[in-house]
């Protein structure tokens, strides 16, 4: 939603070291004084709190330069794991969180409801189902004048009962289009910003899932993930109406649960390919993780009611694998900021004592040749090749 024209011309820009008052769905920005912030009227939405661009600071007493506040972008930060991680990082006072979300108003309400302090976050519109929206987000972020020190690709769509595909604005099957292709383009475009950062530990984190990792019990629950020879992806995931397939492996029948699991294999393969291509030259840490079974998350909102009712107690009392949103958020925050988790190319997990460890990926989710092929096809689909 755009700011009312009477209050804000659409061509204003933010000075590089200025303060970003609010960013909405169009490209309008506003520079705001640190001493006084006027209330803004937003058509059909609410403005986020004004924030100062993080930077190095110097003590007036000892004149010593101190580490500036880091800036982290988190996709899907308006609910679930993304919101919990945003809150955990913001509460440290060491991080400013850019909440990259599709629904501006939902994100603003979520941040307020979670108790995130004014000035600890900025909301930017991002719809991963549109590659144009991804490019617009990157442009808006750069115009805001903030550095980028960490990127968290967290947002996901899960439609386990779907038997017919839906498609993104670019014509790709929705689960893979959002979970993989949208994040792939976002990561590639923002990689330049991470390279420019002077922060001591720059990180790019992509959420994985145990369900896409077939060397686990959960990963063997039907339908099992599997990318095959990627013929469906190479064909554009266009679906049967275009004489193609909406499934990555080229299967004729669509399965929403498998589409999600396949997208998570893509996420884990992408992380490893980023590591192989860029870690040595840039020093950026690339990582993936499975934070545990967040059985109460909104990710399951499209599952059948009986599953939603029984799954949380099953995880709590039978498998003992249940993890709260708050705990999972802290784990994701660790991968973003913990000095002990700087190793690149790692898929992180946690044991029953909430201690992190390097987990092992399945053969397919760690196949370097498949990762290379996935990379090359994805580049073509998002317009980078």
Structure tokens at 225: 């993930």
How many residues in total does the chain contain? 385
Strands 346-350 and 285-289, bridge-based pairing: parallel
Q: Which of 172, 176, 187 is nearest to 126 (CA)?
A: 187
Q: Which of 270, 254, 307 is nearest to 191 (CA)?
A: 270
Structure tokens at 255: 């399965």
Catalytic residues: 260
For residue 294, the Cα-to-chain-centroid distance in whole angstroms is 16
Q: How far apart are CA 201 and CA 184, in angstroms?
A: 21
Q: Which residues is 175 bridged to in the sheet?
A: none
Q: Tell me the torsion sign for CA atoms 270, 157, 21, 334.
A: negative
How close are the terminal C-alpha atoms of the chain, in Å? 32
């Amino acid at each position: 939603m755009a700011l009312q024209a009477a209050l804000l011309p659409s061509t204003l820009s933010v000075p590089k070291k200025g303060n970003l008052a609010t960013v909405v769905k169009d490209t309008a920005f506003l520079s705001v004084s640190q001493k006084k912030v006027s209330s803004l009227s937003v058509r059909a939405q609410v403005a986020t709190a004004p924030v100062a661009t993080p930077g190095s600071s110097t003590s007036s007493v000892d004149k010593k330069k101190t580490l500036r506040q880091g800036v982290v972008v988190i996709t899907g930060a308006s609910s679930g794991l993304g919101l919990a991680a945003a809150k955990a990082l913001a509460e440290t006072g060491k991080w400013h969180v850019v909440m990259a979300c599709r629904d501006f108003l939902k994100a603003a309400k979520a941040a307020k409801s979670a108790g995130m302090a004014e000035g600890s976050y900025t909301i930017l519109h991002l719809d991963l189902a549109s590659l144009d929206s991804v490019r617009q987000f990157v442009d808006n972020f750069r115009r805001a004048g903030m550095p980028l020190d960490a990127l968290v690709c967290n947002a996901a769509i899960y439609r386990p009962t779907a038997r017919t595909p839906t498609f993104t604005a670019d014509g790709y099957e929705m689960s893979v289009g959002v979970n993989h292709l949208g994040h792939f383009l976002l990561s590639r475009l923002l990689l330049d910003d991470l390279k420019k950062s002077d922060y001591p530990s720059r990180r790019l984190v992509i959420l994985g899932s145990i369900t896409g990792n077939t060397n686990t019990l959960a990963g063997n629950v039907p339908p099992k993930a599997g990318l095959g020879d990627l013929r469906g992806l190479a064909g554009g995931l266009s679906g049967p109406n275009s004489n193609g397939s909406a499934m990555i492996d080229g299967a004729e029948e669509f399965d929403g649960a498998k589409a999600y699991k396949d997208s998570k294999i893509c996420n884990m393969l992408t992380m490893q390919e980023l590591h192989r291509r860029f870690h040595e030259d840039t020093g950026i840490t690339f990582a993936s993780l499975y934070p545990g079974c967040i059985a109460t998350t909104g990710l399951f909102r499209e599952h059948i009611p009986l599953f939603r009712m029984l799954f949380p107690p099953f995880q709590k009392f039978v498998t003992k694998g249940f993890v709260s949103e708050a705990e999972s958020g802290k784990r994701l925050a660790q991968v973003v900021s913990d000095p002990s988790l700087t190793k690149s190319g790692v898929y992180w997990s946690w044991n029953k004592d909430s201690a992190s460890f390097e987990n092992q990926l399945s053969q397919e989710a760690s196949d370097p040749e498949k990762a290379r092929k996935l990379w090359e096809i994805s580049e073509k689909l998002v317009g980078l090749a």
